[in-house]
Structures are given as C-alpha cells and as structure tokens.
Amino acid sequence: MIHVGIGYDVHELVVGRKLILGGVEIPHTKGLDGHSDADALAHAITDAVLGALGEADIGHFFPNTDPRWKGAPSRVFLEEAARQVRLRGGRLVNVDASVIAEAPKIAPHLAAMKAQLASALGLDPRKVGLKATTNERLGFIGRQEGIAAMAVASVDLPE
C-alpha cells in the first residue's frame, strides 16, 4: 500500500556559516543557521519520508538538544529515514521537493543535489524530483533572510 508524507523546513540565513542544500555546498555570502548543517532541503525530505511512515518529525529522531547532532551532515538524517522504511519492510518509491530561495540561484546546483539526495536515500536519481523557485521578493525569503524547502515522499509498505 502506498503511503504519502509531506515535509517542510525553513532556516535563517546568517553570516559565518556554509550554505548546504541537498548535501551540496553552494557558494554564497551566508549559510543556514541551525544545530546540524541546517540543510533545509534534506530536513524537509526527511520529514516527508518519516511522515509517510506515520512517524514523528525529524526533531523526534534527531533532537537539536542532543550534542551528537551539532554540526552533523543532514545526509545522516536522510539515511536514517530510508533505514526506517526498510525496517518496516517497505520501499521508498519517490520524493519530490522544492527549494524556495531568493538568492543564490539554486538551478545550477540541482543536478548535484539530486545525485546526493538519491545516494543518501538509496534511490535512482530519476525518482527524485527537485525544483527551485523564488518567493517573488515577498516576505522573509524575498528579503533573503532565510531559505525554505517543502517535500513529499511516497513509500510502499506491506499491509
């Protein structure tokens, strides 16, 4: 039976941090602030996969109060979400995600991001949909104060 989950994440852009999205370092004057590497895209996808399993969000599995996750690469979170699918005898079918950022331009990095995400999830890259859009200069994203991501994931689980 196919189950679908949705995920959303947002992080503030700050000076002094690397910008990591989809497991790829993107050149920019600011990076995303957070306990781990703050990869909003990976976090949204992790939540989508966990949601398809009927599980709690990423913070339940990887609390930001736990020093083990300080600066951790978000690939670890993606790998654990995929492992949770396998533990239930399931199969991750596909993910689809969008990054919402005014700057920097994300499109030149989409292929590398897709490859990193597919690798972490154990998916064929053709089963990872990835897009980038702006917020048309509106709100905190439009003012370049943060970056958001949203994702859906489908998981085939035994009945």
CB-neighbour burial class of residue 88 (10 A; exposed 0-12, middle 13-18, buried 19+): middle
Q: Distance (Å, rounded) from C-alpha 84 to C-alpha 121?
A: 11
In three state form, how does the secondary structure of 97-148 look? Answer: EEEECCCCCCHHHHHHHHHHHHHHHCCCHHHEEEEEECCCCCHHHHCCCEEE
- Cα angle value 36/26/5 (rounded, 5°): 55
CATH of the domain at 82: 3.30.1330.50
Average pLDDT for runs of 10 along the chain of length 159:
98 98 98 96 98 95 88 95 97 98 97 98 98 98 98 96
pTM more than 0.85: yes
Say how many domains are in the chain.
Answer: 1
- Confidence (pLDDT) at 120: 98
- Confidence (pLDDT) at 64: 86
- Confidence (pLDDT) at 159: 85
- Confidence (pLDDT) at 67: 87
Domain membership of residue 58 as a residue range: 2-156
